[in-house]
Amino acid sequence: MNQKALIGAAIGVVVAGAVTLSTLFTVHQTEQVLVVQFGKPVRVITEPGLHAKIPFIQNTISFDRRLLDFEGRSEEVILGDQRRLIVDTFTRFRIVDPLQYFQTVGFGEAAIRARLSSIVPSALRRVLGNEPLLSVLSEDRARIMAEIRQQVNAEARRFGIQVEDVRIRRADLPEENTQAILSRMQTERERVAREARAEGAEVAARIRAAAERERTVILAEAQAQADIIRGAGEQEAIRIFADAFNRDREFFAFWRSMQAYREAFGEEAQARLVLTPDSEFFRFFREIPKDVRAAEAR
C-alpha cells in the first residue's frame, strides 16, 4: 500500500513538474515574447522576468529586442550625373512590434532579411539616382544616408521593425569607369602641370627681363660715371701738361721729342722712317737746348 502511494506521489510530482514547466517561462532582458494559442497570437510580453501561460495550450515565440544587422549584396546604382557606382550597404534594425512582425513576416529572421534585401536597394536607387558623384563623396553623404534611412524605415515599419541606421560601407566605380576616370584625372593633372610650367616660364621670363633691364641700367650708369671720371682725369692731365709746358716750354718740347725717339727707335719699335736730315723731327740731334747745356755745365 505504501509502495503504491509512493509511486502515485512520484507520478503526481512528475505531472506537477511538467505542468509547472509548461506553465511558467522566463523572459530574458534581451528578448520579447509572443504567446500564441493554437497558432493565434494572444499577448505580447516585453517585461523581463518569470511569467505564466496556459499549459499545453499556449506556446511562446521569442524575438530578439537588440539591434540586428543586415548586410546587403553589392548593388550597381546609376547616379544623377549618369555615372555608375557599385555600393555595399549595411542596415541596423530592431523588432519593435512582435505581433505585427509575426503577422506579416513570421517568427524567423530570414524572412525579414529577404524583405530588406529588396527595400534597401530600392531606396538606395531612388535617392542616389538624384545625386551626383561629388555629393556622394562629400559632406552631403550624411544627408543622403539620412534620406535613405527615412525611406527604408517608412517601408519597413509595416513589418513591425524600426530601422536605426543605413550606411554605405563601400562605394566603388566599375572597372571600366575607373580606368576612364583615371585617364581623365591623368589628363587633367597633365593640363594643370602644363599650366604651372607655362606660368613658371612666364614668371622666369619676367624676372630675366627685369634683371637684364637692371643690368643694362647699372652698366649704363657705370659707363657714364666712368666717362665722367675719365673726362675729369683727362682734364686734369691736360691741365698738368699745360702747367708743365708753360713753366718751361723748351724743356717740355725736348722731353716730348725724347719720348718720340724712344717709341720710334726703341727695341720694340717696328716702324721705318724716311726723313731728310734737316727734318724738324731730328732737331734735337743737331742742337742741345739751353736748359740741358746749363744742366751739363753744372
- pLDDT, one tens digit per residue, over 201-216 is 899 999 999 999 999 9
Q: Which residues of 14-49 are buried (b: 16+ CB within 10 A; e: fewer)?
A: eeeeeeeebeebebeeebbbbbbeeeeebeebeeee
185 pLDDT band, cuts 50/70/90, is: confident
Of 138, 159, 157, 137, whose CA–CA distance to 149 is shortest?
157
> What is residue 282's predicted lDDT score, i.e. its pLDDT?
63
Residue with cell 519593435: 96
Q: Which residue has the higher pLDDT, 225 or 238?
A: 225
Percent of the chain clearing pLDDT 90 (strictly above): 9
Task: Tell how strand 58-64 and strand 31-37 pair up.
Answer: antiparallel
| pLDDT surpasses 80 at 48 | yes
The segment with the largest mean pLDDT, out of 12-16, 82-86, 209-213, is: 209-213
Q: Which residues of 149-182 are buried (b: 16+ CB within 10 A; e: fewer)?
A: bebbbebbeebbbebeebebeebebeeeeeeeee
When mean pLDDT is compared across 7-11, 195-199, 204-208, the lowest value belongs to 7-11
pTM for the structure as a whole: 0.53
Please state, as a whole number, how many other Cβ atoms lie within 10 Å of the Cβ of residue 87: 20
- Rounded Cα gap, residues 86 and 75, in angstroms: 5
Query: In angstroms, how far is CA 212 from the centroid of its own chain?
Result: 39
Amino acid at 217: V
Q: Give the mean pLDDT of 75-96.
A: 86
Q: Per-residue DSSP letters for 95-154?
A: E--HHHHHHHT-S-HHHHHHHHHHHHHHHHHHHHTTS-HHHHTSTTHHHHHHHHHHHHHH
Of 39, 58, 47, whose CA–CA distance to 102 is shortest?
39
3-state helix, strand, coil in the chain (%, to 5): 60, 20, 20
91-135 per-position pLDDT tens digit: 999 988 888 888 888 877 888 888 998 999 999 989 988 888 888
Amino acid at 126: R
218 pLDDT band, cuts 50/70/90, is: very high
- Rounded Cα gap, residues 26 and 31, in angstroms: 10
Alpha helices by DSSP H, listed for the chain, are 2-23, 98-104, 109-128, 133-136, 141-156, 175-247, 249-265, 283-286, 290-297
- Rounded Cα gap, residues 53 and 31, in angstroms: 17
- Grid coordinates representing 104? 506579416
Q: Give the mean pLDDT of 271-297.
A: 60
- Grid coordinates representing 171? 562605394
Residue 170's contacts (CB-CB under 8 Å, 6 or more residues apart) are 87, 88
- 3-state DSSP call for residue 298? coil
Q: Which residues pair with 162 in a beta bridge?
A: 94
3 pLDDT band, cuts 50/70/90, is: low
